[in-house]
Structure 1
Amino acid sequence: MKNNLLNDMILSIEKQNLHVLNVVVRQNGEVIAKHDFEEEKPILLWSISKTFTSMAVGIAISEGYFKITDHVIDFFPNIPAAYLSENLKKVTIHDLLCMGSGHAECPIFKADREGNGIYDISQLFFEEPFLYEPGTHFTYDNTATYMLSKIIGITTGTNLDEYLEKRIFQPLDIQKPKWDTCPKGTPLGFSGLRLTANQLSKFGQLLLNKGLWDGKQLIPSSYIEQAASVQIKTYDFNEFFATEDHHQGYGYQMWMNSYPNSYRMDGLYGQYVVMLPDKNAVVTFVSNEPEKMTAILELTWKTIVDKL
């Protein structure tokens, strides 16, 4: 172990008073450095859950359950006619994966803001106007990821969490994790998954390996290559917290980074898994930082990457 690799990071975390819980650094397939500010335990990963949903989609495509070009409406024959706009009819699995379904804002954020609550997420998805041509405009849209979870359930006959249990979690020696569901039992997909930092870093290693684990191809490498490359531009993503790391493009439920040829899983309150192919490394942060989330990601560039 090279825990002194993290000395500058630890000092920076203390200086900025960042609430980081656990950090794991892997290189060449091994854990080379680790630091626990608090005892490691399963934590809600927020939007990092999205990447797991994406990989389930990649596996389901390879198993023949559906195609990336399939239209979303074909999985939902009972959509009220009032919702069937021309843009909605064009939305594909690809558009859901890259947050390009055509909504101008996330229907869940809108429902929360207006005090309507989250009742039926698929209904929220369909009733929100599709203002943009699908595939042309990035909107960070939790309902798009939920629809992928729903489609996994419809096509495979098993919920997202069960589907991933045999295909990802068991091979990685991860005991079946908790995943929050909507009232009807469908895993949220966009959030709700709970893992430890070490478990999460294994999944990051799996992505860096392009889906290969212990000699078995768990996820198609071609799908991970697509997921980890720009599928839609994000230069106009203008949330208050946005930095250069939010303007490099979005793949399939993963962000591209400002650091060249790298990409990440990204969750609220400072959950990050950064894949660095040029360094053959994965950096994982598990945190509970409500105010300075992006400062945690930037620790990678400022205190770690040049030492790898």
Structure 2
Amino acid sequence: MKSPRVSGLGIVLGTIMLTASICGASAQEKPQEKSPDKSQGSAEAVWPTKGWQTSTPEEQGMDSASLAKLVAYGTGRSFDSLLIARHGKIVLDTYYAPYSADIPHIINSATKAVIGTLAAMAMKDGLLDSTDHPMLDFFPEHGIQVFDDRKKAITVQHLLDMTSGIDWREPTDGLPVTFFQMERSPDWTKFILDRPMSNAPGDIFNYNSGNPHLLSAILTKLTGMSAEDFAKARLFGPLGIDEWRWRRDPQGVSTGGNGLALLPRDMAKIGYLYLRSGQWEGKTLLPPAFVEQSSHATINMNLRFEPAFRYSNYFWALPDRNVYMAVGYHCQVIMVFPALDMVAVTTARDFYPFGVVTDLISGAVKSDTALPPSPDGANLLANAVREVSTEKPNEVGTTPETAAAISGKIYTFPGNGLGLKSLSLTLTGSQPRIDLEFFDRDPTAPSRKVGGPIGLDGRYQKGDTTPAGVSAAKGSWSSDHTFLLRRLILGAGLAEQKYTLSFDDEKLSVRGIDRNGREVSVDGGSWRKS
């Protein structure tokens, strides 16, 4: 799989590392009652290597009517997908239009859990002697600028647990200042190693995407290949994962803190590997002790929105609910429910109250054995899935004369907060189209062009594939001179982009929201294509 180097994914990828304040839980949520772990029966396990088997919810002890409510809930929370597998079989696999099952989804900070998984595999293979190994031993060639004895004490386990003590500003409910600085640096590994220390290793939890990036660089040194290539051989290959994308830093290191894109069904395979205690088709891929440590996390994340969260090996855990998960910005989540023998996956374009969703999922479990068929519940669930997976067309109103006047013209813009360099609409004829050009965040990098069909009937039309996902657009006239443009990057996990285009002779004013949530307006002029 081709891994794009970091260049200017700009607006699209610039914000995806604001990890998950992400899926905040409410104080009123009821804890899930603990029950015995039922995930250990690997001898009878179903293995989805060549594809997942499917089942009705009732056959796996789940209630279809409850799942129908969960599917409907996802509509108001900007879900892209929702998948639940129990006893090794998928009981729900839903895709919210215009996203579809064939588009790999960026999993943002859930990438960290994959890096941790690879580190455990390197330890099982004898390539890493221990997670207590000092981190600096792997970087003798780096002349570290800021050095003290505390930095010498950092171990691989400190990296895995976000307790390295490296000075880093990346709050789970704020702007990831240091991460953005790292992205702009010419050498990410050196940038991280040169950071000063704020605490002794092991003292406190501090979220830091530099930690897993160092671990990715360590994996490259241990294996002689990138983390991506190591994953292909040791993780993706055995699990039957054959489609992915993974970013690289300027030195070619697979990004450790984010940047991996997977299909939701393949995300579920990674969760299932953990549900089966690191076993896969009779082979031990992960040390069981590593899985145990991940599922019984004890490090307090000190989160204001949910004090119960604990952390270990790049996994978040809610011990009260007996669930642990890999978590990415805008709720790209792989959930593992050991006591319920269940895995769930969400991909989304916005935050949701985490406790509500986990309770809706676990609340649909009614029995450890099969339930009687429920025709009424099955109909409710089928209708709910049909409703979210299909966009409804609108009646197309009268097209104003402005449409013909502006079609084919290219409008250009000076530098602006929207990153928009040029825009062209073709709104006459049988194939309406939009073409956009964006400035790169790196002023030395070329601009980025993306285009494709645009839906005028209320339905998104898919266009070019970009490094972040599939571009899709739709629009409508709100007046004779005002066009409302809506744009998505399918699989990017980012909110819908909304632009108001106001045409006035040869001028175009574009109003939209920049990546910091501020309204921005920019004016441009036009010239016609030759």
Residue 261 (structure 2) pairs with residue 194 (structure 1): yes
Between 89-98 and 110-119, report the one with greater CA deviation.
110-119
Listed as ranges, the gaps of 5+ residues in structure 1 are: none
Pick one of 61, 82, 87 that aligns with 1:23: 82
The change in CA–CA distance for 1:152 and 1:302 in structure 2 (over 3 A counts) is same
**Count of residues in correspondence between the two structures:** 296
Residue 236 (structure 2) pairs with residue 172 (structure 1): no
Q: Which residue of 2 aligns with 1:151?
A: 218
SS of equivalent to 2:112: helix
The change in CA–CA distance for 1:225 and 1:302 in structure 2 (over 3 A counts) is closer
Residue 55 (structure 2) pairs with residue 35 (structure 1): no
Pick one of 36, 49, 72 that aligns with 2:111: 49
CA distance in 2, matches of 1:222, 1:258: 17
Q: Which residue of 2 aligns with 1:294?
A: 352
The change in CA–CA distance for 1:217 and 1:128 in structure 2 (over 3 A counts) is same
- Which AA in structure 2 matches 1:86? D
CA distance in 2, matches of 1:294, 1:139: 23
Question: Is the CA contact (8 Å cut-off) linking 2:168 and 2:178 kept in structure 1?
Answer: no
Residue 124 (structure 2) pairs with residue 62 (structure 1): yes
CA distance in 1, matches of 2:346, 2:201: 33
CA distance in 2, matches of 1:183, 1:97: 23
Q: Which residue of 1 aligns with 2:321?
A: 260
Question: Is the CA contact (8 Å cut-off) linking 2:189 and 2:214 kept in structure 1?
Answer: yes
Q: Percent identity?
A: 22
The change in CA–CA distance for 1:115 and 1:26 in structure 2 (over 3 A counts) is closer
Question: Is the CA contact (8 Å cut-off) linking 1:23 and 1:34 kept in structure 2?
Answer: yes
SS of equivalent to 2:312: coil
Question: Is the CA contact (8 Å cut-off) linking 2:77 and 2:352 kept in structure 1?
Answer: no
Q: Which residue of 2 aligns with 1:94?
A: 157
Listed as ranges, the gaps of 5+ residues in structure 2 are: 1-55, 58-63, 366-530
CA distance in 1, matches of 2:317, 2:182: 33
CA distance in 1, matches of 2:156, 2:149: 16
The change in CA–CA distance for 1:231 and 1:79 in structure 2 (over 3 A counts) is farther
CA distance in 1, matches of 2:179, 2:205: 21
The change in CA–CA distance for 1:83 and 1:195 in structure 2 (over 3 A counts) is same
The change in CA–CA distance for 1:118 and 1:5 in structure 2 (over 3 A counts) is farther
CA distance in 2, matches of 1:143, 1:78: 18
Report the CA distance between 1:161 and its aligned residue.
0.7
TM-score normalized by the length of structure 2:
0.53
CA distance in 1, matches of 2:123, 2:358: 35
Between 297-306 and 182-191, report the one with greater CA deviation.
297-306
SS of equivalent to 1:170: helix
- Measured on the aligned residues, the alpha-carbon RMSD in Å equals 2.1
Report the CA distance between 1:300 and its aligned residue.
2.7
- Which AA in structure 2 matches 1:261? N
Question: Is the CA contact (8 Å cut-off) linking 1:25 and 1:32 kept in structure 2?
Answer: yes
Question: Is the CA contact (8 Å cut-off) linking 2:243 and 2:263 kept in structure 1?
Answer: no
Q: Greater Rg, structure 1 or structure 2?
A: 2
CA distance in 2, matches of 1:175, 1:4: 34
Q: Which residue of 1 aligns with 2:331?
A: 270
Question: Is the CA contact (8 Å cut-off) linking 1:71 and 1:90 kept in structure 2?
Answer: yes
Pick one of 210, 219, 227 that aligns with 1:160: 227
Report the CA distance between 1:187 and its aligned residue.
0.3
Residue 363 (structure 2) pairs with residue 306 (structure 1): yes
The change in CA–CA distance for 1:223 and 1:182 in structure 2 (over 3 A counts) is same
CA distance in 2, matches of 1:135, 1:175: 37
SS of equivalent to 1:181: coil
CA distance in 2, matches of 1:48, 1:301: 17
- Which AA in structure 2 matches 1:103? I
Report the CA distance between 1:177 and its aligned residue.
1.8
CA distance in 1, matches of 2:83, 2:263: 10
CA distance in 2, matches of 1:171, 1:161: 14
CA distance in 2, matches of 1:261, 1:298: 12
The change in CA–CA distance for 1:188 and 1:105 in structure 2 (over 3 A counts) is same
TM-score normalized by the length of structure 1:
0.89
Between 181-190 and 257-266, report the one with greater CA deviation.
257-266
Q: Which residue of 1 aligns with 2:166?
A: 103
SS of equivalent to 1:263: strand
Matches within 5 A, 1:74-153: 74-80=137-143, 82-106=145-169, 109-111=176-178, 117-153=184-220
CA distance in 1, matches of 2:217, 2:182: 24
Q: Higher strand fraction: Structure 1 or Structure 2? A: 2
